[in-house]
A and B are shown apart, each in its own frame.
Chain A
């Protein structure tokens, strides 16, 4: 009995440690790969998916790829202010897509549509991470 309790406590401790570690990685790891992925999805996946599923929308299908390209340009330039700006724009576009899908009732049609929410959360996380990096650099 005592042994199983100890094992349980140990397992709980390990899980807590893992969660804490994941939180630290999520908050402080380098976000460039995520930014590149999000930007590439904005350039390639975003216009295609929204066109096929929602129909023609110039706001989403013309401006979003431009925003993705801008994000790629900022990541390659390594300018942190530019990256914050571009990440905010990316986050806004993913949020627009999530709201559009919600408005047209597609978000509840199947779990595959939840990906837009995931991308919105991911882009927001990335945005926060870059802002933290900027503040950290400014504070020295």
Chain B
């Protein structure tokens, strides 16, 4: 095989395949971009995003409610103890 021919054929093919690939790549990019835009505009995606937001809000509210519940339980326990002592004191006073 002639060296010059080899180099010329390789160079031409390399440039040709690079050109073909650049074109195909650009087409794929445009298609992907269009698909992405289509996806982000669709009702399903908007609904999904809305649901996500709502789930996040509800999760936050649930955590807050849980915290409040814990505080209330502690208060009730404290009041129950106080009540027990007061009853005992009343009983002592009554017996006197």
* A contacts, CB < 8 Å to B: 54-57, 59-60, 88, 91-92, 95-96, 99-100, 103, 124, 127-128, 131-132, 135-136, 139
- The verdict on B17 contacting chain A, using a C-beta distance below 8 Å, is yes
Query: Tally of A-B residue pairs with Cβ under 8 A?
Result: 48
B9 surroundings in chain A (CB, below 8 A): 96, 99-100, 103
Pick the residue among A57, A96, A131 that contacts B13 (CB under 8 A).
A96
Known interface pairs A92-B14, A100-B9. Does A139 touch B32 (Cβ–Cβ under 8 Å)?
Answer: yes
Specify which of B1, B18, B20 lies most central, judged by the most chain A CB atoms within 10 Å of its CB: B1
Q: Mark B6-27, 1 if CB is under 8 A from A, else 0.
A: 1101101110111011001100
A-contacting residues of B (Cβ < 8 Å)? 1, 5-7, 9-10, 12-14, 16-18, 20-21, 24-25, 28-29, 32, 35-36
Q: Tell me if B29 and A135 are in contact (CB < 8 A).
A: yes
> Is B1 touching A57 in the complex (CB atoms < 8 A)?
yes
User: What's the minimum C-beta distance from A78 to chain B, rounded to whole angstroms?
Assistant: 21
Decide: A59 near B10, CB < 8 A? Known: A91-B17, A103-B5. Answer: yes
Pairs A-B, 10 closest by C-beta atoms: A135-B32, A55-B1, A96-B13, A95-B17, A99-B13, A92-B17, A139-B36, A95-B13, A57-B1, A59-B10
Q: Which of B5, B14, B20, B28 contacts A96 (CB 8 A)?
A: B14
Q: How far is the CB of B37 from chain A (nearest CB, A)?
A: 10
CA distance A55 to B29 in the complex (A): 40
User: Given A57-B6, A99-B13, A127–B29 Cβ distance below 8 Å?
Assistant: no
**What is the distance, in angstroms, from A125's C-beta to the closest C-beta of chain B?**
11
Q: How far is the CA of A56 from the CA of B8 in the complex (A)?
A: 16
Task: Pick the residue among B13, B24, B28 that contacts A92 (CB under 8 A).
Answer: B13
List 20 A–B pairs whose Cβ atoms lie within 8 Å, in order of A's numbering. A55-B1, A59-B7, A88-B21, A92-B13, A92-B14, A92-B17, A95-B16, A95-B17, A96-B13, A99-B9, A99-B13, A100-B9, A103-B9, A128-B24, A131-B25, A131-B28, A132-B28, A132-B32, A136-B32, A139-B35
